[in-house]
Amino acid sequence: MNAEERYALVTRNAEEVVTEEELREILRTKEHPSAYIGFEPSGLVHLGWVLVASKIRDLAEAGFKVIIFWADWHAYINDKLGGDIENIRVCARYMEDCFRALGVPEEGVEFRYASDLLDGIGYWEKVIKVAKVTSLQRVKRAMTIMGRSEDDAEIDSSKLFYPILQATDIFDLEVDLSYAGMDQRRANMLARDAADKLGWKKPIALHTPLLPGLAGGDRMNPAASKMSKSNPDSSINIHDSAEEVSRKMKKAFCPPEAGTEDVNPVMMLCKYIIFPRLGRLEVNRPEKFGGPVTFTDYDSLSKAYFSGELHPMDLKKGTADGISKCIEPVDAYFKKRPENLEAVREVLRKLNRL
């Protein structure tokens, strides 16, 4: 695979690369560059992880050595799972299973914990250096990466550490590329700015879009309307049955007007989940409405739907069927290895979140 083919693989379905020139250069000069993506272990996994798993597979196929980073102490700072570090680590083990169930390969991908980094004095030296070149105002603006407002730091000052820690993770892991959803963009930009000031290696930033919740997106604030496990009825859980997927999809926001694509969760699921995973969308509509039809690419689906050729209810049914096929391997995986899923469910039951 040449550098251009690797570039196409890394950037497909991405929303932003900062910068494209830096990415092309690293692919020209390194056979196995390194990449990282961090997660707070915080509950059951929703469908947005299918998009992330696909991108991790793309990176690995393009030759990257990928670190999936369990931000256990970051989740503790952010009060996840009752603010209990052991609960958080139980969840991390379950989430590792989720990635394997979604097809993330063992070769070229490793799992690391924040705890491993925080044990070293060198990590804390970097924390102080990053903090020295970052203003308090910049840190507060970046608190949106943890779903918090600036005012939250007035109650609990540990919240201010979070953006600095996230930037330091990138430097301490010595990665070439930091991958995240668009909601984490400010952390990557903070890290790039700090790298400039400190003369450190600047991480390339790769961002994929946020899937809107089933209630619909918000162009002005996509992070606020993203699919999230905190709103179960507006998101699809990767453990949902076909019946549950169908029930949720029937209520999904699905405007038929052209120009509404980015706020239409049904179309976004087709674009970022179904076509990359299955390569097609099958819609089994009644004969009186044209009969069954198979779309082999997103553009043909978009044209049919926004022209009125495909009815919203037929699109929803086809999408529900496609999503169920995408998550079938998850059910099969956890039937063979139920231990970590049951452990995290027990944690959630104790917290009255299940």
Q: What is the pLDDT of residue 222?
A: 65
Q: Which domains does the chain have, with CATH numbers?
A: 3-208 (3.40.50.620), 232-350 (1.10.240.10)
What residues does 295 pair with on adjacent strands?
Answer: 281
Give the pLDDT confidence score for residue 219 in this predicted structure: 65
Sign of CA dihedral 290, 242, 183, 280: negative
Q: How far apart are the C-alpha atoms of 89 and 70, rounded to whole Å?
A: 8
Tell me the torsion sign for CA atoms 301, 306, 312, 314.
negative
**Mean of pLDDT values over 322-338:** 97
- Tokens (6 digits) for 61: 């196929």
CA 113, chain centre distance (Å): 18
> Side by side, which strands form the sheet with 34-39?
16-18, 204-208, 177-181, 34-39, 65-70, 109-113
pLDDT tens, position by position, 108-130: 999 999 999 999 999 999 999 99
Give CA–CA dist 166/181, Å, rounded: 14
Helix then strand then coil, in percent of the chain rounded to 5, is: 60, 10, 30
pTM higher than 0.85 for the full model?
Answer: yes
Worst-scoring range by mean pLDDT, 21-30, 111-120, 143-152, 311-320?
143-152
Residue 220 pLDDT exceeds 90: no
Q: What is the pLDDT at residue 4?
A: 96
Query: Does residue 50 carry a pLDDT above 80?
Result: yes
Q: Is the pLDDT of residue 229 over 70?
A: no
Q: Tell me which DSSP letter residue 215 carries.
A: T
Res. 230: pLDDT tops 90: no
| 153 neighbors 77 (Cβ within 8 angstroms) | no
Task: Tell me the per-residue pLDDT of 36-46, one tens digit each, with 9 for 90 and over.
Answer: 999 999 999 99
pLDDT of amino acid 290:
86
Contact status, residue 112 vs residue 95, Cβ threshold 8 Å: no
Looking at every residue in the chain, the average pLDDT score rounds to: 93
For 77, the enclosing helix (H) or strand (E) is helix 72-77
Phi, psi for 181 (deg, rounded to 5)? -75, 165
Which residue in 3, 25, 45, 32 sits closest to 327, CA to CA?
A: 45
**Residue with the two structure tokens 């070769």:** 107
